[in-house]
Structure 1
Amino acid sequence: MLEQLAINSNTYHGYSLEEAVKGASEAGFTQIELAAVKEHTAHVLPDMSPGELQDVKQLLLDYGMKCVGIGAHSNVMRKDGVENLLKSIDLAVEFNCKYIVTATGDAHGDTDVIEDERVLAANLQPIIEKCETLNKLLVLETHGNNYPTGSSLKKLSKMLHKRVKINYDTANVIFYGNVLPYGDLEASVDYVEFIHLKDKLGVNNEWNFPAIGDGNLDFGRIFATLKKGNYKGPISIEVEFTPAGPANLEEVNDSVQRSFNYLSRIIG
């Protein structure tokens, strides 16, 4: 499964895409999920000029890095969120990747309560239609108030469309859903098409996501479930630190390197 590993460029929140690509490449990664979240981690955005997009492509080429997904978190319960996600699908075309990643609410501080799933389904319809036309897959992340677990997203995706699957975040299910990932992943793995591999320290609702292997999660157990479920999609590594963030770029690079080394030992 080592060949499925990627770095989520959101790990380098606050740093440039070039710093992210360079650091991840030196750590051993050859694949990347490009963060496309306006006003948070905007390493790529749908309103970039053709020249800017070409510069990103050249950067990836220079470091032998392949894009496996576009992390375009958008609040799809709002009109502007739907519009942004529709435009972001074009980035998946631009970078020749299969997956467009989002949750249903805000990327941070999601307080929306979805009382009527028919509204959500209607909002997602044009996104699903565009994914169908362009042969892309919409993967909804275990995140926020409404769908914090794989089990809840499996029910939703079954209701919606074959183009809607799960992006399973191994730590978000603890932080947002107050459940450990083991049984929940086993129950939903047949609908999982993308993974955010994230570790967790502290109490369940504490924002503390260290380097992979530094936290409390049993990744041997997680990978056993993925192997049993014949999971073939990307495994995007994400380190989000604490609310204070990393001290500097060196700390980010060190966490990325240690994550890669740890995973190489247990699945290499």
Structure 2
Amino acid sequence: MTRQVSVSTAAYDGYSMDVAIAEIATTGAKWIEPAFISGYVAFDESIFCEQEGTRLASRLAASEVEALAVSAHTDLGADGAAVALRRRIDFCVAVGSSILITNSSDCHHPTQCVANIEAVLPVLEQAGIVLALENPGHGTDSLLPDGAAFAVLLEKIGSRFVRANYDIGNAFTYSNEAINVLSDLRIALPYCAHLHVKDVTADDHDWRFTAIGDGDLRYGAAFDVLDTLAPEVPIGIELPLRLSRPGRGDPSRRSERVPIHEIRQALSRSLRTVNGGTRATTR
């Protein structure tokens, strides 16, 4: 089975969505992951409506690409999260995506997080949308710090419409490089509907985001695990090149956007790494 590989528009922070779509389409990629992630890119909550989703679907179709997944993060433990999720589901339906990616919450609000998810389960089921919860790359006290936590939460919810988006790079940085990523990936994979890959390298006391394969993560070994245990799970390439991690702390967004030629080079190297390391499909 060949694997679907998307490219996140987060790489093009500071550029318009039209530029991101056109740039990604020129690589031969068939799938694009529109990204609306606070701290990674600037966006307005009002975008999450059917009308804007339909507009985005038309722009994707014009470039002959599709959105398999949409990243539209919100705190699921917060008041009003169920309403925010419903807006995002409507947006995904209009875009034509089948996977909605979001973070969960912190470990202090598990009951509210589960209640908000369960409140939208009928909507997810009717729409045929999978809610894919993502492990974070920074901060503390996450409800989903690792694969074992995914197993506990998703077994509790018990729905095929609520799964994991395991981010390999996030696991590495959230644990401050302490986690055995390959072992943790094996634990998470049975619960995954989607995966994210990003890469970082250490610059003295900082982390710097790089093209996939240029950093400190062992993606060759990770792709071996993926092809053996989960050859059907789609991958989204994230290149948050505008962000830095000073002191290996929270992401800091640089004032200047990354020059487009640097994004092209990093994306080209990333696609070679991913498509060479896993049985992936493009156009």
TM-score by length of structure 2 reads 0.82
Other-structure match for 2:111: 118
> Match for 1:159 among 156, 159, 168?
156
Other-structure match for 1:71: 71
Q: Aligned runs of 1:36-115 on 2, under 5 Å? A: 36-37=36-37, 40-42=41-43, 46-47=47-48, 50=51, 52-105=52-105, 113-115=106-108
**How many residues were matched structurally?**
260
Say which SS state the counterpart of residue 71 (structure 1) adopts.
strand
Q: Residue 167 of structure 1: CA displacement?
A: 0.3
Other-structure match for 2:173: 175
Q: Residue 261 of structure 1: CA displacement?
A: 2.2
Say which SS state the counterpart of residue 200 (structure 1) adopts.
strand
1:135 aligns with 2:128: yes
Judged with a 3 Å threshold, the aligned counterparts in structure 2 of structure 1 residues 120 and 47 are, in CA distance, closer, same or farther, namely: closer
Q: Residue 204 of structure 1: CA displacement?
A: 11
Task: Answer yes or no: is the 8 Å Cα contact 1:211–1:255 preserved in 2.
Answer: yes
Task: Answer yes or no: is the 8 Å Cα contact 2:124–2:130 preserved in 1.
Answer: yes
Other-structure match for 1:21: 21
Task: Answer yes or no: is the 8 Å Cα contact 1:37–1:45 preserved in 2.
Answer: no
Q: Residue 166 of structure 1: CA displacement?
A: 0.8
Q: RMSD in angstroms over aligned alpha carbons?
A: 2.6
Judged with a 3 Å threshold, the aligned counterparts in structure 2 of structure 1 residues 80 and 26 are, in CA distance, closer, same or farther, namely: same
1:258 aligns with 2:269: yes
Task: Answer yes or no: is the 8 Å Cα contact 1:174–1:205 preserved in 2.
Answer: no
Bigger relative contact order (CA 8 A; separation at least 6)? 2
Q: Aligned runs of 1:193-232 on 2, under 5 Å? A: 193-202=193-202, 206-232=206-232
Q: Write out per-residue CA displacement over residues 112-160 of structure 1, whole angstroms, 9 at most, x where no aligned residue.
A: x433522221122112232122221111001153112222112111111
Judged with a 3 Å threshold, the aligned counterparts in structure 2 of structure 1 residues 132 and 207 are, in CA distance, closer, same or farther, namely: farther
Bigger drift between 24-33 and 66-75 goes to: 24-33
Task: Answer yes or no: is the 8 Å Cα contact 1:24–1:257 preserved in 2.
Answer: no
Where does the alignment leave 5 or more consecutive residues of structure 2 unmatched? Answer: 245-253
- For residues 264 and 44 of structure 2, the distance between their equivalents in structure 1, rounded to whole angstroms, comes to 17
Q: Residue 104 of structure 1: CA displacement?
A: 1.4
Judged with a 3 Å threshold, the aligned counterparts in structure 2 of structure 1 residues 230 and 97 are, in CA distance, closer, same or farther, namely: same
- For residues 102 and 204 of structure 1, the distance between their equivalents in structure 2, rounded to whole angstroms, comes to 31
Task: Answer yes or no: is the 8 Å Cα contact 1:6–1:32 preserved in 2.
Answer: yes
- For residues 155 and 204 of structure 2, the distance between their equivalents in structure 1, rounded to whole angstroms, comes to 28
Task: Answer yes or no: is the 8 Å Cα contact 2:48–2:90 preserved in 1.
Answer: no
Structure 1 runs of 4+ with >4 Å offset: 43-49, 203-207
- For residues 111 and 164 of structure 2, the distance between their equivalents in structure 1, rounded to whole angstroms, comes to 19
- For residues 248 and 180 of structure 1, the distance between their equivalents in structure 2, rounded to whole angstroms, comes to 34
TM-score by length of structure 1 reads 0.86
Say which SS state the counterpart of residue 166 (structure 2) adopts.
strand
* Aligned residues with identical type, % of pairs: 23
1:248 aligns with 2:259: yes
Q: Residue 207 of structure 1: CA displacement?
A: 4.3
Other-structure match for 1:150: 147
Other-structure match for 1:108: none
- For residues 239 and 142 of structure 1, the distance between their equivalents in structure 2, rounded to whole angstroms, comes to 17
- For residues 156 and 203 of structure 1, the distance between their equivalents in structure 2, rounded to whole angstroms, comes to 35
Bigger drift between 242-251 and 132-141 goes to: 242-251
Q: Write out per-residue CA displacement over residues 198-228 of structure 1, whole angstroms, 9 at most, x where no aligned residue.
A: 1121189954221111111221211111122
Judged with a 3 Å threshold, the aligned counterparts in structure 2 of structure 1 residues 47 and 98 are, in CA distance, closer, same or farther, namely: closer
Which one has the bigger strand percentage? 2
